[in-house]
Amino acid sequence: MSLGAELHVARRYLVGIRRRTHVATVTLISLAGLGIGVFALVVVLAMLEGFQSGIRAEIVARAAHAELRPAAGRRLPEPDRLASVLQAELPDVEAVQVVRGACLVSSAMDAVPAPVVGRSDTAGVVVDQLLARRLGVGAGDRIEVVSARRRLTPMGPLPVRISAEISRVAAPRPGSESGTVILPLGRAQQLLWGEPVVEAIELRDPADPWRLAQRMRVALGSDASEVEIAGLDQLHRGLLTALALERVMIFLAVGLMLVVAALNLLCNVAMVAAEKRKDLAVMAGLGFAPRSLRRLFLVLGLAIGVVGSALGAVAGTVVAVVLDRTGWLRLPQGVFMVPSVPFEVDPASVALVMVVALALAALGAWLPARMVARREPAEGLRYE
Amino acid sequence: MSEARPLVEASGLGKGYGAGPTRVEVLDGLDLEVASGEMLAVVGPSGVGKSTLLHLIGLLDRPERGRLLLEGRDTGVLDGTARAGLRNRMIGFVFQHHHLLEELDALDNVALPLRISGEGSRRARDRAAELLEAVGLAGRTAHFPDQLSGGEQQRVSVARALAMEPRLLLADEPTGNLDRANSERLFDLVSQLHLKAGLTSIIVTHNEEMARRCDRIFRLAPRADLSEDV
């Protein structure tokens, strides 16, 4: 059965709304409600995406993209061979051998426990800003790093310690709350192990950071089963999970606006159904089956849904893009990583919002439509 | 007497409204037969159930008791879609208050039953234009109901009722809202079309003069005290 007659009447109801101000008003209110809901969701999700992609970009810029760890214990077997296999298979990837431990780091002013990392790509001693501030030191100052490892001396067992001049103060790693000392690999091995142990190989591939772990598995072949390979999502699981959770919760919270808009649409379509009670009875009299009356109201609801959500999505996208480019929403310096609120419109999010809005609009129209279809036509004609 | 089966056969029809102490029995045990090609007038005081009877025969409502057969087919067993199909193809309605759709112009109002039946837009509109011409409204096709006089609105309504070439025309006080001259004109039009199209017509009216011009008068009295004049 064709939809011709239902579409024809629905179009006349919507296009001919100038002739009936009441229907026009309730239609516009429904449209505005749904449009504002979609607009708010698109803008909020774009803002969230802006912040989150900033955080993700920060992780990609500063942290390792993948890590090769021993499958068991702390010593990575044959680190040089594994590193050379990786370098041969993935020539664009930077591979750095590392050891990690915790030491007591002291300056003339203070002594604090801090993580120590030995890296094969570091020549000097690097202290991050957090630790430098706590110790009151800068480039050129000397620090002493005391290991938990002890060595037997004529005076008995004494902790292994080194004294070094700070060559650089670096920005902290994303998510790092305690300061870190970075040493050349050899010195750190001496301090922490007393032998050339490598605990992990960190890899970076700025061209394709999120799939590096997968490519490493392919590159290592049978060696991959003897080591553990952690990708970006595993290395930053906590932070990335929190970001994803935040996204879902915001979608649900702001999505409630859409539910309210759909309820408003339901009320308005029900009002139209009440007002058009006589017309519907006449249409039924002329041969509209209950199914066709249901379709007529679904078409009305979906038309409001399509126009409302399209207007909301376009307006939301435009506002998000304009706010992102102009940077009108400034943020306090020193608190946030970015100077103004960033917006990034994700087409998939916009599509999802529109689908949800349309589904809710269809549901909002379905209930009154069902009510209309259940009535005998004479009910609408009886009280003229 | 014709040997052919009556187009409308109602037996023991009953219908009431409300529940409990406020319930009103409108029709109770009504029997009626309308022969094919007959023009029947239904008369009676207000509230006696004339419109209810017309709604039951027109499948706009379901009786609580009794049986209604149209062309020998029991309508009680039909579902909503089948009843709608029968209303579309077999029955034409003319209501007292014309009941044209405000958002559609005269042409679209007349074309609507054709569109509902699945007819294409162009053919439906061509047929509607012919019908409007037949009821003397060729120049009013693009007018909306509120731009037409009462008599014109009712003529559009007659054209709409005949759009699907129905076999049964049901008119509920079609001249109730018209002055004497317009009432005469409309009744003449309905009578002509009734003969020309070979319709079976049931006309509810308060107008005794008009009722007498029909083939038969069916009088509805309170408490189903029924009588017939031929």
Which among A16, A287, A382 is the nearest to B88, CB-wise? A287
Residue A28 to chain B, least CA–CA distance (Å): 17
- Rounded Cα distance between B13 and B35, Å, is 18
Which of B15, B52, B55 would best serve as a mutation to test chain A binding (most A beta carbons within 10 A)?
B55
Beta strand B227-229 pairing with B216-219: antiparallel
Least CA distance to B87: which residue of chain A?
Answer: A287
Report yes or no: A154 and A146 within 8 Å, Cβ to Cβ: no
What token pair was written down for A130?
A: 């957090």
Instruction: Answer whether A290 sits within 8 Å of B81, measured CB to CB.
Output: yes
DSSP A338-378: SSB------HHHHHHHHHHHHHHHHHHHHHHHHHHHHS-HH
- Rounded Cα distance between A213 and A233, Å, is 10
Least CA distance to A291: which residue of chain B?
Answer: B81
- Rounded Cα distance between B143 and B147, Å, is 6
Which among B55, B104, B113 is the nearest to A378, CB-wise? B55
- Rounded Cα distance between A243 and B226, Å, is 80
Sheet architecture: strand order including B65-70: B24-34, B8-17, B65-70, B73-74
Which among A16, A278, A288 is the nearest to B99, CB-wise? A278
- Rounded Cα distance between B114 and B131, Å, is 12
Residues of A in Cβ contact (< 8 Å) with B52: 378
Residues of B in Cβ contact (< 8 Å) with A275: none
Contacts of B194 (CB under 8 A, 6+ apart): B39, B169, B201
Confidence band, pLDDT 50/70/90 cuts, at residue B2: very low
What token pair was written down for A58?
A: 């920060």
Residue A287 to chain B, least CA–CA distance (Å): 4
Residues of A in Cβ contact (< 8 Å) with B164: 287
Q: What is the pLDDT of residue A17?
A: 52
Q: What is the pLDDT of residue B64?
A: 92
- Rounded Cα distance between A361 and A357, Å, is 6
Least CA distance to B110: which residue of chain A?
Answer: A286
Residue B61 to chain A, least CA–CA distance (Å): 5
- Rounded Cα distance between A116 and B154, Å, is 95
Q: What is the pLDDT of residue B35?
A: 92
What token pair was written down for B103?
A: 């958002």
DSSP A145-180: EEEEEEEEETTEEEEEEEEEEEEEEEPPPTT--S--
> B127 by DSSP, 3-state: which?
helix
Contacts of A23 (CB under 8 A, 6+ apart): A13, A17, A272, A275, A276
* Chain position carrying tokens 């394709």: A208
Residue B104 to chain A, least CA–CA distance (Å): 7
Percent residues over pLDDT 70 in chain A: 95
Q: What is the pLDDT of residue B63?
A: 93
The answer to whether the pTM exceeds 0.90 is no
Q: What are the tens digits of pLDDT across the range A175-229?
A: 667 789 999 999 999 999 989 999 999 999 888 888 888 888 888 888 778 889 9
Residue A336: is its pLDDT beyond 80?
no
Q: What is the pLDDT of residue A8?
A: 84
Instruction: Answer whether A19 sits within 8 Å of B103, measured CB to CB.
Output: yes
Beta partners for A242?
none
What token pair was written down for A10?
A: 């629905």
Chain Cα centroid distance, residue B79: 21
Residues of B in Cβ contact (< 8 Å) with A378: 52, 55, 60-61
Residue A317 to chain B, least CA–CA distance (Å): 35
